[in-house]
Structure 1
Amino acid sequence: MRFKKDMDFVHLSKYFFIFSIVITVMGVIFLGFMGLNYSVDFKAGSNVDVSLSKNITQDQLQPALSGLGLSHEPNITIGDKRVNIRYDEELDNEQSAALKTAITKLDDKASFEVNTVDPEMAKELARNAIYSVLLSSLGIIVYVSIRFEWRFAVAAIVALLHDAFMVVAIFSIFRLEVDLTFIVAVLTIIGYSINDTIVIFDRIRENLRFGKQKSYEDLKALVNKSVSQTLMRSLYTAFTVFIAAFFLLILGGESIKMFSLAMVIGLLFGAYSSIFIASPLWLLLKKRQKVAVKNNPAKA
């Protein structure tokens, strides 16, 4: 794959800005009115994983699940010699024992793993997930500000939060289930996002040392040149991770499905955020500095 060395990435960025803004607005609307579709990891309820010695059908399983005295029907996922049953209510000891007894009648070699989350624990998990993202963002701001300058830090954080929020927005719009592995995926995406962004910013900084940029057009040409020099590295890195995440999504188990899906979505958005979001945003901030210096030479 080859790209023209004189490709105007800054000009193309406006289309990606528009696309991201549309997704962001839709995400905010859906989050405001519908929120996220939390799994039992983030709300009170019980999750039952059953390992079987043979495959069973939902018709065989349904009678075994009735008669537990619960007001809501469980969400059932049947795989190869495996069943996952999710309840929006907490199972007490008697209900859990009755469920195990009923399924054991279908397969006497069945083994069970029952996880229950109470409301307070669910709230704490949600808070800790938000804190982890905020703390990681704060650390990145400090690091980039020290190594580069504050304009790079601002642009990097916007790109980072863009990638994370795009994943959250897509999960909210399509009502995809959010579990603990989703949080792991978002933090992983943040790591890949900041890595690609730093690579491009480092090249921009190097190119700034070897030339004088007297106008906005000079800065624009520098950004386009820097992106062009690092583009294939960024795309190859994103593509190799994307392939791994994609096949995990297709061939992986049910327990990592949301993690793999979040990674696939995040990598797609992250593939362009460093190029078409972070770099043009730095250029915009730098342009404002040039204008301020031009209007007030004493600041130079």
Structure 2
Amino acid sequence: MRYNFKDFDFVKASKGFFIFSVVLTLLGIVSLGIFGLNYGIDFKSGSSVDVKLSKPVDKAKVEQFIDSENLGKYTVTTSSERISIRFENVLNEPQQAKLESDFKSEFDDKASFEINIVDVEIAREQEINALYGILIASVGIIIYIAIRFEWRFAVAAVVSLLHDAFVVITLFSLFRLEVNLPFIVAILTIIGYSINDTVVIFDRIRENLRFAKIKSGEDLVGIVNNSVSQTMTRSINTVLTVAFAAICLFIFGSESIKMFSLAMILGLISGAYSSIFIASPLWLVLRKRAKPKKNVKVQSAP
């Protein structure tokens, strides 16, 4: 499918999107400062109980049963064949054994239990490793883009991908969605897709620069607009294809990958948006501020 964006002024439109991104970033900072993130068991201490059922059970009755066990705060998610219970407290072995025995006698004697425990130290280590992963990925991208293109492209690309990651984190903070290890995988995947779209546009800008005669800032604006319009069809088709798969995972997938799928959907939209309206116009701003090269006159030897 092809789209016609030849006459659209992406650079002019990006001014409004810059303001929108700044407002969204400030909103995210405020949200993280006040509410923080809703960490799942992967990033805080507690116990995760996954029960595979041989017959359906009612969620309300399960919650009443867990309340009677007096095991502290918890959340329950159910499907036709599985129940996932997340306790904020770490359950000791007698509590685990009693919970399993009571559940089987109450609901399903053929149910199978899988209980995982995360203590405080492991949770902190997981969080630090996740931050290291994002940081190392960003540094590697800076080095790659700087070598292949130039430092202005590298700066614009990293600002764009960090913007994408922060947009998803902001939305998860605002709507109190659970952050777990699959969420971190989604963030790293989003960074990969975002930089892929951005590099395609940057590569076209570089190719167009080779054959262009730059006499003013308007010439650069024209190159950016032409480059984005020439790659727009590819960007939209790529995002739609991957987004369709992510939406199917979100609708039909298991409870354990729903947050991963949702993060992917949000990140794909943000990645396409930032590659077009953030990365390329930001490179243009940096390029316009560059000092023009002075013509050097070479004198012939006497």
TM-score by length of 1: 0.95
| Cα 1:258–1:275 shift into 2, 3 Å | same
Deviation at 1:73?
Answer: 2.8
Give the Å deviation of 1:61.
Answer: 1.9
Count of equivalent residues: 294
Query: Which residue does the alignment assign to 2:112?
Result: 111
Check whether the contact 1:65–1:102 (CA below 8 A) recurs between aligned residues: no
Alignment of 1:118-133 (within 5 A): 118-133=119-134
CA distance in 1, matches of 2:63, 2:6: 62
* Maintained 8 Å contact 1:55/1:81: yes
Q: Is the 8 A contact 1:26 1:173 kept in 2?
A: no
1:293 counterpart residue number:
292
Amino acid of the structure 2 residue aligned with 1:75: T
Tell me, yes or no, if the aligned pair for 1:196 and 1:234 is still in contact at 8 Å: yes
Q: Give runs of aligned pairs for residues 23-38 of structure 1, distance below 5 A.
A: 23-38=24-39
Matches within 5 A, 1:48-127: 48-70=49-71, 72-105=72-105, 106-127=107-128
Residue number in structure 2 paired with 1:20: 21
CA RMSD of aligned residues (A): 1.4
What is residue 231 of structure 1 aligned with on the other side? 232
Which consecutive residues of structure 2, in runs of 5 or more, have no partner in the other structure?
A: 297-302
- The answer to whether the 8 Å contact 1:245/1:263 transfers is yes
Q: What is the DSSP-based 3-state SS (H/G/I as helix, E as strand, rest coil) of the residue aligned with 1:293?
A: coil
Whether contact under 8 Å (2:63, 2:76) holds in the other structure is no
Cα deviation, residue 18, structure 1: 1.7
Q: Supply the distance in 2 between the matched residues of 1:58 and 1:259 (Cα, whole angstroms).
A: 23
Q: CA deviation at 1:98?
A: 0.6
| Runs of 5+ unmatched residues, structure 1 | none
Q: CA deviation at 1:211?
A: 1.4
* Alignment partners' CA distance in 1, 2:64 and 2:286: 64
Distance in 2 separating the partners of 1:267 and 1:147: 24
- Cα deviation digits, residues 235-267 of structure 1 (max 9, x gap): 100110011101111111100010000001111
**3-state DSSP of counterpart to 2:49:** strand
Equivalent-residue separation in structure 1 for 2:103 and 2:82 (angstroms): 12
Aligned equivalent of 1:141 = 142
Aligned partner letter, 1:79: S
- Once the two structures are TM-superposed, the CA of residue 14 in structure 1 deviates from its matched residue by 1.3
SS in 2 for 1:201: helix
TM-score by length of 2: 0.94
Residues 165 and 191 in structure 2, CA contact (< 8 A), matched pair in contact too: yes
Deviations 1:109-162 (A, max 9, x none): 101111110000000000000000000000000000000000000000000101
Q: After TM superposition, list the pairs within 5 Å mapping 1:227-266 onto structure 2.
A: 227-266=228-267
**What is aligned with 1:193?**
194
Look up the match of 2:205. 204
